[in-house]
Amino acid sequence: MITFETIVFYVFAAMLISAGVLVITLRNPVHAVLSLVLAFFASAGLWLLLEAEFLAIALVLVYVGAVMVLFLFVVMMLDINIAEVREGFARYLPIAAMFAVLMGVSLLLVVGPAHFGTAQVPIPPPVASDVNNTEQLGLAMFTQYVLPLEIASVVLLVAIIAAIALTLRSTRQTKAPKPESQVRVRREDRIRLIKMDAEKGA
Amino acid sequence: MNEWLLAQAPFLPPSVAAVMVILFKIVLIVAPLMGCVAYLTLAERKVIGYMQVRLGPNRVSLLGLDFLRGWGQPIADALKLMTKEIIVPSGANKFLFLAAPIIALAPALAAWAVVPFGAEMTLANINAGLLYILALTSLGVYGIIIAGWASNSKYAFLGAMRSAAQIVSYEIAMGFALVCVLVAAGSLNLGEIVEAQRGNVLTWFWLPLFPMWLIYFISGVAETNRAPFDVSEGESEIVAGFHVEYAGMAFALFFLAEYANMILIAGLTAVLFFGGWLSPLPASWGDWPFIGALVGDGIHWFLIKLSFFLFCFLWFRATFPRYRYDQIMRLGWKVFLPITIVWIVVTATAVVLELPPWFDRA
């Protein structure tokens, strides 16, 4: 039985998988980042299909709107030498293949088909159209799951402070202007008016 | 309106008819929007002209009418841009070079889907409307970055880099300002946000969220890369910034996107802080004969408020000198961000205390 939802699902799923493959196969790093953006869009589409509109829009907002912009920003400024990166491909291939197989097997074990399907996860009962997904999510997050949420936010805060502390070097001579001193500048500090007689023509 | 439209084509299957109705509504939004963009360019040149004691465009008239001199200018400009050749620089990435203007325009138009024009006048009345707007306005930067990179030009690339850093920075302050609005309204739905402001002029959110209104609007000016935050174009420094290599219709699409975004920011400021379609006049006046529809709530109030904020965009451009780049960054990160975070706490406290007259929900 092929419904409209099934078609939409397969379209987005195919888009997601092909974009994911493109991310690791495209030679041009900027194109690879843009494929990753497409992959995020496709997964946002899949989440919309699950009626998780808050998650879908948050995915686009956070990952596509902010994280990937910074990715692009960095990748565009890098001067990546593709030939250098590909050097030693054959030499490292056996080890890389081994790890790839290992990763693949562990992924299958953790999130393999044995854990999914309607036998393991029953289809949730259909909800009325006036149920507010965002509100329910907020209620669950700030009541039932408030402790994990707080722990996650503290971890994030630590990460932010650590990132700033790692990059901030007070000994470095910065030439950044100080706006407060610039604002406080008076006319007399910069300009001296001198009275003098007019020069005589030669 | 839905039932009436569906009744117009009884021969179509219901699903097709529903799609046709949606398409018709999209045309109803996008076509006037394009017209507004065209005449906003004229308004901009006229307003700035008068502010600088010039006349502005006054040659191209419509239908040869004397009092319409200058009114044909947008049409002439559009025709000129459409007939010009799109030049692709030899070192450019052709696909991305041509895709960039489309990527810039698409989110600018798509964001209009959730804007409430009137009490029942929304294309998509979705619950996460505010979030949707925030997500789509944050996508506009892709067009600029990709254009700057694909042009394979130093000036374009510099403009794109400036723009990316600026938009990402101001998005944070903008997002926090919107968090205040949604805390105050208790909803992400734009229609419900407007309804939460019902009362009189003083119950609109501009008063309890006054600093947030200023920050939202200034961040909006920065997000749309308008003066005084137009360093990504910066004519006197980097020629025309990210779109320096573009000509013809590809260039026009960037212009369309910029102006559609301006109108969107003006409209959102009206919706979020100035009561959208709500009338500033006392509600009892709405029962008056004949002029009741004019003084009561309606789309015209939304358009009046929108026009005022659009005028502010032009006003800023004519009066403020361009910000220096480090000052833009300082304003966004060190001034706006702390203020918004403090005001979230203030708003949340006021909502919890049910401070009248704004937050005393029955």
Give the DSSP letter string of A87-156.
TTHHHHHHHHHHHHHHHHHHHHHHHSGGG-STTTSPPPPPPPTT--HHHHHHHIIIIITHHHHHHHHHHH
CA distance B30 to chain A (A): 23
Q: What average pLDDT is seen over chain B? A: 84
CA distance B168 to chain A (A): 6
Interface of A with B (CB under 8 A): 30, 34, 37, 53-54, 57-58, 60-61, 64-66, 69-70, 72-73, 76-77, 132-135, 176-177, 179
d(CA B329, CA B221): 14
Q: Are A60 and B139 within 8 A, CB to CB?
A: yes
Q: Which residues of A touch B157 (CB under 8 A)?
A: 76
Are the CB atoms for A73 and B145 separated by under 8 Å? yes
The string of pLDDT tens digits covering residues A58-92 is 888 888 888 888 888 888 887 766 667 777 778 88
pLDDT of amino acid A157: 95
B276: left (phi over 0), alpha (psi -120 to 50) or beta: left
d(CA B16, CA B49): 49
d(CA B86, CA B90): 12
pLDDT of amino acid A129: 66
pLDDT of amino acid A158: 96
Sign of CA dihedral B114, B24, B117, B121: negative
pLDDT of A163 over the 80 cut: yes
Of B177, B23, B34, residue with least CA distance to B108: B34
pLDDT of A185 over the 80 cut: yes
d(CA B215, CA B36): 25
Q: Which residue of B has its CA nearest to A65?
A: B138
Tokens of B350: 């006021």
Q: Which residues of A touch B159 (CB under 8 A)?
A: none
Interface of B with A (CB under 8 A): 96, 126-128, 131-132, 134-135, 138-139, 141-142, 145-146, 149, 157, 160-161, 164-165, 167-168, 171, 188, 326-327, 330
End-to-end CA distance of chain A: 102
pLDDT of amino acid B11: 72
pLDDT of A46 over the 70 cut: yes
CA distance A61 to chain B (A): 4
The string of pLDDT tens digits covering residues B172-208 is 888 899 888 888 888 888 888 888 888 777 888 888 8
d(CA B300, CA B270): 12
Chain A interface test: which of B95, B97, B133, B134 (most A C-beta within 10 Å): B134
pLDDT of amino acid B227: 79
pLDDT of amino acid A172: 63
Indicate the pTM of the whole model.
Answer: 0.85
Dihedral angle, C-alpha B195, B201, B205, B211, nearest 10 °: 170
Q: Are B171 and A134 within 8 A, CB to CB?
A: no
Q: What average pLDDT is seen over chain A? A: 84
Q: Which of B132, B149, B327 sits opposite A57 (nearest CB)?
A: B132
Of B51, B57, B71, B70, residue with least CA distance to B317: B51
pLDDT of amino acid A11: 92
Say what percent of chain A tops pLDDT 90. Answer: 25
Chain B interface test: which of A7, A43, A69 (most B C-beta within 10 Å): A69
Are the CB atoms for B21 and B251 separated by under 8 Å? no
Q: Which of B139, B188, B330 sits opposite A179 (nearest CB)?
A: B330
Q: Which of B126, B138, B164 sits opposite A73 (nearest CB)?
A: B164
d(CA B4, CA A58): 36
pLDDT of amino acid B216: 92
Mean pLDDT confidence for B109-125: 85
Question: Between the ranges A98-102, A129-133, B129-133, B273-277, where is the mean pLDDT highest?
Answer: A98-102
Q: Are B330 and A132 within 8 A, CB to CB?
A: no
Q: Are A54 and B165 within 8 A, CB to CB?
A: no
pLDDT of amino acid B332: 86
pLDDT of B362 over the 70 cut: no
pLDDT of amino acid B269: 92
Q: Which residues of B touch A73 (CB under 8 A)?
A: 145, 161, 164-165
Q: Which residue has the tokens 């596509």?
A: A64
Compute φ and ψ for A194, nearest 5 degrees: -115, 130
d(CA A177, CA B329): 12
pLDDT band at A1 (very low <50, low <70, confident <90, very high): low
The string of pLDDT tens digits covering residues B44-90 is 999 999 998 988 888 888 877 777 788 888 888 888 988 988 888 88
pLDDT of amino acid B5: 67
Q: Which of B126, B131, B330 sits opposite A58 (nearest CB)?
A: B131
Are the CB atoms for B220 and B174 separated by under 8 Å? yes
DSSP 8-state assignment for residue B334: I
